[in-house]
Amino acid sequence: MTRNLLLNMTANGSLGRDGENLFVVRRGEGPYVEDADGNRYIDGLSGLYCCQLGYSYAEEFATAAAEQLRELCFSPLWSASAHPTAIELAERLAGIAPMDVEHTFFSSGGAEAVESAWKIARKYHTLRGEPRRTKAISRRGAYHGLTIGALSLTDDPALTEPFGPPAIETVFVSNTSRAGQPSEFADDAVFTRHLLAELEGAIVAEGPETIAMLIVEPVQNRGGCITPPDGYWPGLRVLADRYGFLLVADEVITAFGRLGEWFGGDRYDARPDIVTVAKGLTAGYAPMGATLVGAQVAEVINQPGAVLNHGYTFSGHPLSAALALRSLHIVERDRVLDNVRDLQDHLGKRMADLGPLPVVGDVRGAGFFYALELVGDAEDGGFSDAARNALVGDLIPRRLREAGLLARVYNRAAPLLQIAPPLVSDRELLDRIADIIAETLDEASHAIAR
């Protein structure tokens, strides 16, 4: 069954020759998916943070797809050529973006959107007579994609080291996690000052004239839905303006409602120069990414004679663009953002209520995006090898699935359980998700105590 298929981020050799260890999803309906054996599950991760609307609008998307394919199946955005659907989508994104967007560069996914942000940043600085700006700043534990350029911005040795030296020289600074931090950092103002001082120190140490861009997620996915303290994003803007580098918001996961706003950065007063998006842009109905470029950057890279030496065959593909427009229309028409805003506090409370469980060390998140940091039986709160393998590697993910919930369980340096349910989830479904997690982690807590 799996002889011809290589899966992403998978030990493919462990699946068995006939795929006996493979989980096969065959259909979706509403917020649920069904496996090859007919078992139904709540999709607690929205596919991979992309099926914002669940699987409720298949007929509407199918109609939009058919109409576009009958009209035009392909036309490149290449060498002074475009097509109406991509033009309309770029205009639509400009209307909802968090800064003065003048242009959108389309790609096929999040990693490509990040690669495009880097190339646009380099082009911007070169055209301004600053070709020495060849470095990026990212944050510890951050993930920005697996293509070679995006991988350079990703802080995960297990992912980066097999591929040699990074293509982009990147400096990593602290993320906004308070885990293990001094008690005074519970105060947002104190913590923000500390983080910004560290960042400014890194900029000065590297040489401000060498920094091209800083890339930050509004809520960092890796490490478990790490939210920023008040004042953090405005402080990033001040430093970007002071030292002349571009501020890039990686909104591949957080855009289009995940945090209750069109763009997650809107919650935190973010004013980036460039924004990368993907995943929820088409609600998972087709692959697409985009790099949104603010007016200051667009003015430079669009000066007469300047050529953006970058492109993809399927950039702004008519089918993907049509489905993205349909997704944005549904989100607005059906008040999907309001649904998240109305229920986010309830979901946050249900997650916070899990905090006292012995196996839960911390609860973090915002909107419909939460993580539980898991702690174990070791003196430092970690897991012994035996407990990690038994609980995080087996019992917790197995019990969640047996109870009918698909969630993400990280069995790595800091074990986590993460959810990102469809944005159309109602109160009853969110309660069921919380109940399943509570039952599972209660069992895990008792297992640790034995």
d(CA 144, CA 337): 25
Q: Is there a single domain that holds both residue 297 and residue 375?
A: no
Q: Is there a single domain that holds both residue 355 and residue 241?
A: no
Q: In this structure, are residues 136 and 155 in contact, taking their beta carbons and an 8 Å threshold?
A: no
Q: What is the pLDDT along the chain (450 residues), one digit of tens a residue?
A: 567 888 887 777 777 766 677 899 999 999 999 999 999 999 999 999 999 999 999 999 999 999 999 999 999 999 899 999 999 999 999 999 988 888 999 999 999 999 999 999 999 999 999 999 999 999 999 999 999 999 999 999 999 999 999 999 999 999 999 988 899 999 999 999 999 999 999 999 999 999 999 999 999 999 999 999 999 999 999 999 999 999 999 999 999 999 999 999 999 999 999 999 999 999 999 999 999 999 999 999 999 999 999 999 999 999 999 999 999 999 999 999 999 999 999 999 999 999 999 999 999 999 999 999 998 866 666 777 787 888 888 999 999 999 999 999 998 778 999 999 999 999 999 999 999 999 999 999 888 766
Specify which residues 213 forms β-bridges with. Answer: 136, 246
Continuous segment of H or E residues that includes residue 399:
helix 396-402
d(CA 345, CA 273): 30
Q: Is there a single domain that holds both residue 414 and residue 300?
A: no
Continuous segment of H or E residues that includes residue 113:
helix 110-127
> What is the domain-level CATH number for residue 147?
3.40.640.10
Last residue of a domain, one of 333, 361, 396: 333
In the chain, how many domains are there? 2
pLDDT at 386: 80
DSSP state for residue 6 in the 8-state scheme: P
Pairing, β 274-277 against β 246-250: parallel
CA dihedral 249, 255, 260, 265 (to 10 degrees): 10
Residue 53 counted as domain residue: no
CA gyration radius for the chain?
22
Residue 412 counted as domain residue: yes
Q: In this structure, are residues 176 and 227 in contact, taking their beta carbons and an 8 Å threshold?
A: yes
Residue 171 counted as domain residue: yes
Q: Is there a single domain that holds both residue 113 and residue 247?
A: yes
Q: Is there a single domain that holds both residue 160 and residue 297?
A: yes
Q: Is there a single domain that holds both residue 200 and residue 216?
A: yes
Last residue of a domain, one of 333, 354, 384: 333
- Sign of the dihedral through C-alpha 373, 439, 442, 10: negative
Q: Is there a single domain that holds both residue 289 and residue 175?
A: yes
- One-letter identity of residue 179: A
The secondary structure of the chain in percent helix, strand, coil, rounded to multiples of 5, reads: 45, 15, 40
Q: Is there a single domain that holds both residue 169 and residue 242?
A: yes
Residue 185 counted as domain residue: yes
Residue 14 counted as domain residue: no
Using alpha carbons, select from 206, 223, 157 the residue that is nearest to residue 361: 223
Q: Is there a single domain that holds both residue 340 and residue 329?
A: no
Q: In what order do the strands lie in the sheet with 169-173?
A: 101-107, 289-294, 274-277, 246-250, 211-216, 135-139, 169-173
Q: Is there a single domain that holds both residue 190 and residue 261?
A: yes
Q: In this structure, are residues 331 and 337 in contact, taking their beta carbons and an 8 Å threshold?
A: yes
Structure tokens at 420: 């990102």
The SS3 assignment for 352 reads helix
Residue 30 counted as domain residue: no
Residue 166 counted as domain residue: yes
Is residue 88 classed exposed, middle or buried when 0-12, 13-18 and 19+ CB atoms within 10 A define those classes? middle
pLDDT at 445: 87
pLDDT at 6: 83
Q: Which residues, in sequence order, are CB contacts of 106 under 8 Å at separation 6+?
A: 77, 86, 89, 90, 288, 289, 290, 291, 312, 315, 316, 317, 320, 321
Last residue of a domain, one of 333, 366, 386: 333
Domain assignment of residue 266, given as a range: 61-333
Q: Is there a single domain that holds both residue 204 and residue 74?
A: yes
Specify which residues 170 forms β-bridges with. Answer: 136
Q: Is there a single domain that holds both residue 357 and residue 339?
A: yes
> What is the domain-level CATH number for residue 395?
3.90.1150.10
Residue 20 counted as domain residue: no
Structure tokens at 312: 């993809």
The SS3 assignment for 419 reads strand
Angle made by CA atoms 427, 425, 270, in degrees to the nearest 5: 105
Using alpha carbons, select from 242, 272, 301 the residue that is nearest to residue 120: 301
